[in-house]
């Protein structure tokens, strides 16, 4: 390994910059020239590739987003697009690539490796925490803290006015953010894509809260819940409970931004370092993660297909503590 490229792809997540920094500094430590690939797969196709020095990643560990930027790239889905990317890799003499992103990023890397045999190591960077092979993905902890801080403030105003708030959080296919943030804020109900939502059960839970003289009620809704997002569920609640002062808050993309937490900075640093070491050791087509506090490697195919499963014990805990 003489030259290693690094890029960020898909949705941004807090801690991506810390991971890029770790990749660049580990390369330099091992006398390898790091290259930044700007805007993910689009940058590979367009040749937006630049040699990086240590100073290029100074003062970024605390910054959210990704200074390498990210982009969706439909052209990479085509054989012709991937051929352009391959030609640019050869042009810059890259011996391996570190790809930071989620399942879409790793799917692309897996296909590209099989076509062109370029070594890839993936780093899980997504707030959804839905990849198999790691206990936590980069950005998940920061997103949780963002949600909890926001809902704590919503609880203040909800208590002042005896209101019911339905708060929608990110999670199109996975309810990890909803579940843990819901427990963290003491939500009265948590609705996630992994389990069916029954409006009658939700209404019964809310009515129980009213009988227990709760001054406020919070329902956390993952955007991918089977009954729809927070607005759709709020309409159903209003039909059954017209006397409730019901409000909806959609937290949206604030969950992706912000300075990464200490946990995410350390996790990103460990994974960035391990990714470069893996390429040096000749590994390829693997995602690096942390399982039980230890660095572990999982094939791209496993990481993508065997999505992380939700902890049903935590769902039960949330139900017990919401009574």
Q: Give the contacts of 60 (CB within 8 A, at least 6 positions apart).
A: 17, 18, 20, 21, 67
CB atoms within 10 A of CB 229: 17
| Measured distance CA(28)–CA(294) in Å, rounded | 24
Distance CA 257, CA 267 (A): 17
In sequence order, which residues have a C-beta less than 8 Å from that of residue 257 and are 6 or more positions away?
14, 64, 65, 146
In the residue annotation, 141 being an active-site residue is answered as no
Query: Which of 12, 56, 103, 128 is labelled catalytic?
Result: 128
3-class DSSP state of 37: strand
Query: Are 256 and 14 spatial neighbours (Cβ–Cβ below 8 Å)?
Result: yes
Query: By the 8 A CB rule, do 154 and 132 touch?
Result: no
Contacts of 173 (CB under 8 A, 6+ apart): 128, 130, 193, 224, 307
| Spatial CA neighbour of 295 closest among 266, 277, 270 | 270
Longest dimension (CA), the chain: 70
For residue 317, what are the CA distances in angstroms to 126, 190, 224, 312?
A: 25, 11, 22, 9
Catalytic (active-site) positions: 128
């Amino acid at each position: 390994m003489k030259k290693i490229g690094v890029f960020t792809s898909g949705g941004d997540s807090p801690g991506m910059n810390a991971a890029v920094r770790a990749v660049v500094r580990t390369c330099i430590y091992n006398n390898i020239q790091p290259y930044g690939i700007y805007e993910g797969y689009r940058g590979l196709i367009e040749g937006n590739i630049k040699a990086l020095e240590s100073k290029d990643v100074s003062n970024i560990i605390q910054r959210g987003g990704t200074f390498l930027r990210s982009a969706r790239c439909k052209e990479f889905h085509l054989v012709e697009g991937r051929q352009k990317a391959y030609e640019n890799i050869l042009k810059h003499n890259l011996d391996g690539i570190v790809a930071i992103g989620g399942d879409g990023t790793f799917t692309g890397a897996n296909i590209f490796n099989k076509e062109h045999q370029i070594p890839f190591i993936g780093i899980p960077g997504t707030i959804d925490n839905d990849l198999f092979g790691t206990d936590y993905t980069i950005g998940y902890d920061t997103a949780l803290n963002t949600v909890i801080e926001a809902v704590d403030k919503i609880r203040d105003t909800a208590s002042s006015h005896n209101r019911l708030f339905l708060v929608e959080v990110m999670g199109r296919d996975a309810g990890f953010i909803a579940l843990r943030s819901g427990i963290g804020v003491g939500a009265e109900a948590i609705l996630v894509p992994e389990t069916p939502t029954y409006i009658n059960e939700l209404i019964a839970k809310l009515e129980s809260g009213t009988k227990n003289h709760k001054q406020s009620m919070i329902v956390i809704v993952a955007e991918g819940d089977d009954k729809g997002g927070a607005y759709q569920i709020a309409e159903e609640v209003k039909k059954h409970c017209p006397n409730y002062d019901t409000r909806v808050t959609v937290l949206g993309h604030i969950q992706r931004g912000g300075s990464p937490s200490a946990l995410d900075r350390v996790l990103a640093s460990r994974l960035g370092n391990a990714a470069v070491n893996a390429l040096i050791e000749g590994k390829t087509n693997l995602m690096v993660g942390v399982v039980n506090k230890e660095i572990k490697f999982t094939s791209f195919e496993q990481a993508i297909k065997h999505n992380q499963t939700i902890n049903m014990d935590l769902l039960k805990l949330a139900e017990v503590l919401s009574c």
